Homo-oligomer: A and B are copies of this chain.
Amino acid sequence: MVYSEDSLSARIREAAREINLFSQSSKVISYPQNGLPDRSKIISVTEQLRSVMFPGYFDTPSSEHNEYAAGYKLTRIADELGAQMYSALCASNDPGVAKEKSRSAIESFIKRLPEVQKLLATDVEALFNGDPAAQSVVDVIFSYPGLNAITVYRLAHELYILNMPLIPRMMTEYAHSQTGIDINAGAKIGSYFFIDHGTGVVIGETTEIGDYVKLYQGVTLGALSTRKGQLLTGIKRHPTLGNRVTVYSGASILGGDTVIGDDCLIGSNAFVTASVPANTRVSMSGLELSFRQNNPGIWENG
């Protein structure tokens, strides 16, 4: 009914003209001439990769765990991800170079997948062993957001290593959106990695994490605050955690020079900006709870 109303039509015409003009001219919004990866295809490839890593759990079970499934799916993935890689590389490469690089990258990526799967099996084991609420490894594979985020991170990390632009972040942000767990694809993470609940976990780009490490919800492995922005690109800004470190919920460990030694436990809500030697427990002290009669006080709005 709308199209016959003159003033609305006029509004649309003006808005369309102005939006189109700005979209073409703005340096931050204009879509590049030589194209970009397609977000929905990246998500689809990510889901296919997950079903290759855990055959039977995330697709038609009967046909997933025989001798053909992995080959069939990898062929599709090679084709679809290869095309997205080409698009991602075209932004900063000549088409011929982009083609060569994407061909080489997809080969290297496929080659690494069996290793990634084996690492993921250690993560499943860690999650099952570490959580008394886990009924079985099946429970972990189907339902644990920690495993979901780690799976996508481990796949995206392989692309990050290959210097693939845009795509690793698109993958990890897809997992972030589903789980609330934000692991930058650049982080280096050892085997038997455990994240429980996970909402609010942030693991920065230059973080390094050893084996058998456990993180709970709300943990930040971040950079020290800074206003330097893009000037810090490429510099180690996030902490290093040794083996068998456990970080409880809400704790923050910040800074590129901060090293947490093997077998440390970092308590809930701890705020750590300096290195900690191995075998140390860190908790907050100087912090007490005050108990009062239950009547209005400063933190209640009158």
With both chains docked as a complex, state the minimum distance between the C-beta of A218 and any C-beta of chain B, in angstroms.
Answer: 6
Chain B residues closer than 8 Å to A135, beta-carbon distance: 165-166, 169
When C-beta atoms are compared, the residue in chain B nearest to A181 turns out to be B199
Chain B residues closer than 8 Å to A233, beta-carbon distance: 132-133
Per-residue CB contact flags for chain A residues 52-65 toward chain B (1 = under 8 Å, else 0) read 11111110111111
Q: Is A178 an interface residue (CB 8 A)?
A: yes
Q: Is A89 an interface residue (CB 8 A)?
A: no
A54 touches B29 (CB 8 A): yes
Cα A281 to Cα B54 with chains together (Å)? 48
A7 touches B107 (CB 8 A): yes
With both chains docked as a complex, state the minimum distance between the C-beta of A13 and any C-beta of chain B, in angstroms.
Answer: 7
Q: Which of B1, B76, B289 contacts A271 (CB 8 A)?
A: B289
B8 touches A78 (CB 8 A): yes
Name the interface residues of A264-302: CB closer than 8 Å to any CB of B.
Answer: 264-265, 267-273, 276, 279-295, 297-302
Q: Which of B205, B273, B286, B294 contacts A264 (CB 8 A)?
A: B294
Name the interface residues of A151-210: CB closer than 8 Å to any CB of B.
Answer: 165-166, 169-170, 173, 176-180, 182, 184, 186, 197, 199-200, 202, 204-205
Q: Is A19 an interface residue (CB 8 A)?
A: yes
